[in-house]
């Protein structure tokens, strides 16, 4: 494509509010433009990257036997009423009315829509079956930010599997897991598949695919020696604690315990858990993990109890709360580390006072000990190999065993071999296609611009004429452009710009290979440069095809 007539509006400066590197670079290099908060246009270069990623996804999905379909982005509210999600989904679901006052949603996800279609599959003979689409999704995010990383309109690949048995679902899930690994590997991403929390919607097994990047909003706990990786909320703590040899002293109330080190303190926190309350105890140098509390109690909603409730139950504020005089209806749950504390300090339900010499076995009425704390860096890895480290990750995909929630609420059943009606067993599998663009840029850039992996680059190579006014240079370049276009996607910078501008733009856009036609064109010599390694060499035009083959092979590895 001739750059002189391509819409690539590059900018020297990014808008000040663009914090993420990918956001800045995609704007500056003219890949995207913002039209409203969290809503973007993909300009020609951005659209080409999107197309490359979509094709990789299509190839890997099709290779599993999954079938592509396309469902509407606008969905009737009736479907969302069937599952109850019209009420549950909250303000992130964008809603609108048509001229007849009928309610619709802009699809935030497609479970209802696909399940409504799958109702027509009514025999076990048709199953298993997996269907997918690549479609625009809408979520009215509270804080759209970081450009394509968290938009309000974004592009998602969503797939859904339908099986007759639990084992079948396990199989479909495994197939998707493998396909996801292939997709993200082909996109050139450094990623981890991590154990994740299944959230509210009735599922159990789920994994998130995380691209490692500091801008990522999720924390991943991973082992420094094994393949273990987990969303930090899900990581089990398997620390072994030791009791100190101190001898237990008599329990006392004191006003002089303010300087006690964190590891000697017991933190007590009251949670409202559905219709009941739980008092959770952890050591002062640990943090409570309320996802674990929710899963432990199989609760729907876990929230911090409000100050009024705490005051009416314990007669104090949340800061003075201790594990004493606990009302009957409050369950006391403590992290295992508490059991090993000797002469600890806790709140005394009284301002300015504390209990000292608290010895949990002797002094506290604990109903249950359970792993309730967040894992920390340095803790032993739950798989028994190595220690935990933290990294930040961008969620680029998620796979999820849904079970029968949708098929049961929406009546998507099949007749089994014995003619008995059964609900289909479902899985769902998402990839953030547009978010993946940003994740790739987060991992592949330097201070001059983006560095596209060959597999997803908008063009394979950038052909640049240093001086368009030089007849010889122009002729050589035109001839090369014609030849190279037969084998590669070429962006041909035929603009009458200064060389400095062209090179700066070229570095910013970051195509994998650059071919520069300059002064030595008269001798038939051009310059070949890899954006990634910065390696540069002179090549005779006759040798260029072989040299390009070599370098593209290297870059595809
Ligand atoms: P997040 O936790 O980041 O809000 P999610 O878990 O709600 O995402 P899913 O419902 O799992 O998202 O959607 C599937 C995929 O769609 C995600 O893994 C992510 O890659 C992508 N995605 C979700 N929300 C957005 C968004 N606002 N902008 C861009 N991509 C998104
Ligand atoms: Mg998710």
Q: How far away, in angstroms, is 396 Cα from ligand 1 center? A: 7
Residue 267 in 3-state DSSP? Answer: strand
pLDDT tens digits, one per residue of 395-406: 999 999 999 999
Residue 73 in 3-state DSSP? Answer: coil
Per-residue pLDDT band for 200 (boundaries 50, 70, 90) equals very low
Q: Which atom of ligand 1 is nearest the CA belonging to 148?
A: 29
With a 6 Å cutoff on the Cβ, whether 407 touches ligand 1 is no
Token pair of 120 as six digits: 């027509």
Angle among Cα 273, 276, 279 to the nearest 5 degrees reads 70
pLDDT value of position 208: 96
With a 6 Å cutoff on the Cβ, whether 216 touches ligand 1 is no
Per-residue pLDDT band for 198 (boundaries 50, 70, 90) equals low
Q: Which atom of ligand 1 is nearest the CA belonging to 396?
A: 20
Q: How far apart are CA 436 and CA 439, in angstroms?
A: 5
With a 6 Å cutoff on the Cβ, whether 207 touches ligand 1 is no
pLDDT value of position 26: 98
Q: How far away, in angstroms, is 287 Cα from ligand 1 center? A: 26
With a 6 Å cutoff on the Cβ, whether 435 touches ligand 1 is yes
Output the 3-class SS for 482-537: HHHCCCCCEEEECCCCCHHHHHHHHHHHCCCEEEEECHHHHHCEEEEEECCCCCEE
Q: Which atom of ligand 1 is nearest the CA belonging to 139?
A: 27
Phi, psi (rounded to 5 degrees) for 406: -75, -40
Token pair of 226 as six digits: 């094994």
Phi, psi (rounded to 5 degrees) for 222: -135, 160
Q: How far away, in angstroms, is 45 Cα from ligand 1 center? A: 23
Token pair of 312 as six digits: 């009416």
Identify whether the C-beta of residue 317 lies closer than 8 Å to the C-beta of residue 311: yes
Q: How far away, in angstroms, is 398 Cα from ligand 1 center? A: 8
Comparing C-alpha atoms, which of 42, 4, 10, 1 is closest to residue 448?
10
Q: Length of the chain in residues, anyone? A: 557
189 Cβ contact partners less than 8 Å away, ≥ 6 residues apart: 211, 396, 436, 439, 440, 443
Q: How far apart are CA 432 and CA 174, in angstroms?
A: 19
With a 6 Å cutoff on the Cβ, whether 150 touches ligand 1 is yes
Q: Within 385-432, where are the H helices?
A: 405-409
With a 6 Å cutoff on the Cβ, whether 156 touches ligand 1 is yes
Q: Which atom of ligand 1 is nearest the CA belonging to 217?
A: 3
Average of pLDDT values for 98-119? 98
pLDDT tens digits, one per residue of 89-107: 999 999 999 999 999 999 9
Output the 3-class SS for 179-236: HHHHHHHHCCCCEEEEECCCCCCCCCCEEEEEEECCCCCEEEEEECCCCCEEECCCCC
Q: Whose CA is nearest to atom 31 of ligand 1?
A: 432
Q: How far apart are CA 230 and CA 232, in angstroms?
A: 6
Candidate of 398, 433, 438 to mutate for ligand 1, largest count of ligand atoms within 8 Å of Cβ:
398
Task: Please count the CA atoms within 13 angstroms of the CA of 385 that sit on its side-chain side.
Answer: 9
pLDDT value of position 199: 58
pLDDT tens digits, one per residue of 407-459: 999 999 999 999 999 999 999 999 999 999 999 999 999 999 999 999 999 99
Instruction: Say if strands 265-273 and 302-304 run parallel, antiparallel, or are unpaired.
Output: antiparallel
Residue 39 in 3-state DSSP? Answer: strand
Helix (H) or strand (E) holding 68: strand 67-68
- Tokens 């040899």, residue? 245
What is the rounded (10 degree) CA torsion for 532, 223, 397, 109?
-150
Per-residue pLDDT band for 243 (boundaries 50, 70, 90) equals confident
Q: How far away, in angstroms, is 393 Cα from ligand 2 center? A: 12
Provide DSSP, 433-461: HHHHHHHHHHHSEETTEE---TTT-SSSE
**Of the ranges 4-8, 54-58, 72-76, 195-199, which one carries the lowest mean pLDDT score?**
195-199
Residue 109 in 3-state DSSP? Answer: coil
pLDDT tens digits, one per residue of 274-297: 999 999 999 999 999 999 999 899
Q: How far away, in angstroms, is 395 Cα from ligand 1 center? A: 7
Per-residue pLDDT band for 201 (boundaries 50, 70, 90) equals very low
Q: How far apart are CA 143 and CA 145, in angstroms?
A: 6
Comparing C-alpha atoms, which of 45, 107, 58 is closest to residue 509?
45
User: Quick check: pTM over 0.75?
Assistant: yes
Whether the pLDDT of residue 531 is over 90: the answer is yes
Q: How far away, in angstroms, is 176 Cα from ligand 1 center? A: 17
Q: How far apart are CA 196 and CA 506, in angstroms?
A: 40
With a 6 Å cutoff on the Cβ, whether 154 touches ligand 1 is yes
Whether the pLDDT of residue 333 is over 70: the answer is yes
With a 6 Å cutoff on the Cβ, whether 139 touches ligand 1 is yes
Token pair of 148 as six digits: 């394509």
Whether the pLDDT of residue 34 is over 80: the answer is yes
Q: Whose CA is nearest to atom 11 of ligand 1?
A: 398
Q: What is the DSSP-derived secondary structure letter of residue 470?
A: -
Identify whether the C-beta of residue 206 lies closer than 8 Å to the C-beta of residue 238: no
pLDDT tens digits, one per residue of 464-519: 999 999 999 999 999 999 999 999 999 999 999 999 999 999 999 999 999 999 99
With a 6 Å cutoff on the Cβ, whether 137 touches ligand 1 is no
Q: How far apart are CA 229 and CA 222, in angstroms?
A: 4
With a 6 Å cutoff on the Cβ, whether 433 touches ligand 1 is no
Q: What is the DSSP-derived secondary structure letter of residue 156?
A: E
With a 6 Å cutoff on the Cβ, whether 157 touches ligand 1 is no
Phi, psi (rounded to 5 degrees) for 416: -80, -175
Q: Which atom of ligand 1 is nearest the CA belonging to 151?
A: 28
């Amino acid at each position: 494509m001739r750059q002189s007539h391509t819409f690539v509006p590059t900018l020297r400066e990014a808008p000040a509010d663009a914090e993420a590197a990918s956001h800045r670079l995609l704007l500056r290099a003219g890949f995207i433009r913002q039209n409203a908060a969290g809503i973007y246009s993909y300009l020609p270069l951005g659209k080409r990257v999107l197309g490359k990623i979509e094709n990789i996804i299509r190839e890997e999905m099709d290779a599993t036997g999954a079938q592509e379909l396309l469902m509407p982005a606008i969905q009737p509210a009736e479907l969302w009423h069937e599952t109850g999600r019209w009420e549950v989904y909250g303000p992130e679901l964008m809603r609108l009315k048509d001229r007849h006052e009928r309610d619709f949603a802009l699809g935030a996800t497609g479970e209802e829509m696909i399940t409504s279609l799958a109702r027509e599959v009514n025999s076990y003979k048709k199953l298993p079956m997996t269907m997918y689409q690549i479609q625009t999704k809408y979520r009215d995010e509270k804080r759209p930010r970081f450009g394509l990383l968290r938009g309000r309109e974004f592009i998602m690949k969503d797939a859904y599997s339908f099986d007759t048995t639990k084992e079948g679902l396990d199989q479909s899930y495994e197939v998707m897991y493998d396909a996801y690994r292939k997709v993200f590997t082909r996109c050139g991403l450094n990623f981890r598949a991590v154990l994740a929390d299944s959230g509210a919607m009735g599922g159990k097994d789920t994994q998130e695919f995380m691209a490692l990047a500091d801008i990522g909003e999720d924390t991943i706990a991973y082992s420094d020696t094994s393949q273990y990786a987990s969303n930090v909320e899900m990581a089990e703590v398997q620390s072994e604690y030791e009791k100190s040899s101190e001898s237990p002293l008599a329990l006392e109330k004191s006003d002089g315990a303010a300087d006690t080190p964190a590891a000697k303190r017991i933190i007590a926190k009251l949670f409202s858990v559905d219709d009941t309350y739980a008092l959770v105890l952890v050591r002062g140098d640990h943090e409570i993990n309320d996802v674990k509390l929710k899963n432990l109690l199989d609760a729907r909603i876990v929230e911090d109890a409000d100050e009024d409730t705490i005051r009416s139950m314990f007669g104090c504020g949340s800061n003075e709360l201790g594990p004493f005089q606990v009302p009957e209806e409050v369950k006391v749950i403590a992290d295992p580390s508490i059991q090993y504390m000797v002469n600890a300090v806790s709140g005394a339900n009284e301002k300015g006072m504390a209990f000292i010499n608290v010895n949990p076995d002797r002094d506290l009425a604990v109903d249950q000990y359970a792993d309730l704390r967040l894992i920390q860096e340095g803790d032993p890895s739950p798989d028994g190999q190595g220690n935990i480290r933290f990294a930040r990750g961008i969620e680029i995909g998620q796979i999820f065993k849904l079970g029968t929630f949708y098929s049961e609420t929406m009546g998507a059943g099949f007749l089994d071999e014995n003619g008995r009606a059964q609900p289909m067993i479902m899985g769902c599998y998402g990839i953030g296609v547009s978010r993946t663009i940003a994740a790739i840029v987060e991992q592949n850039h330097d201070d001059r611009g983006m560095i596209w992996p060959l597999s997803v680059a908008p063009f394979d190579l950038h052909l640049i004429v240093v001086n368009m006014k030089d007849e010889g240079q122009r002729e050589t370049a035109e001839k090369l452009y014609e030849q190279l276009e037969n084998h590669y996607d070429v962006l041909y910078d035929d603009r009458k710009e200064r060389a400095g501008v062209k090179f700066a733009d070229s570095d910013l856009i970051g195509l994998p290979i650059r071919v520069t036609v300059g002064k030595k064109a008269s001798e038939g010599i051009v310059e070949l440069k890899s954006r990634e390694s910065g390696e540069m060499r002179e090549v005779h035009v006759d040798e260029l095809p072989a040299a390009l083959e070599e370098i593209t092979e290297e870059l595809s590895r």
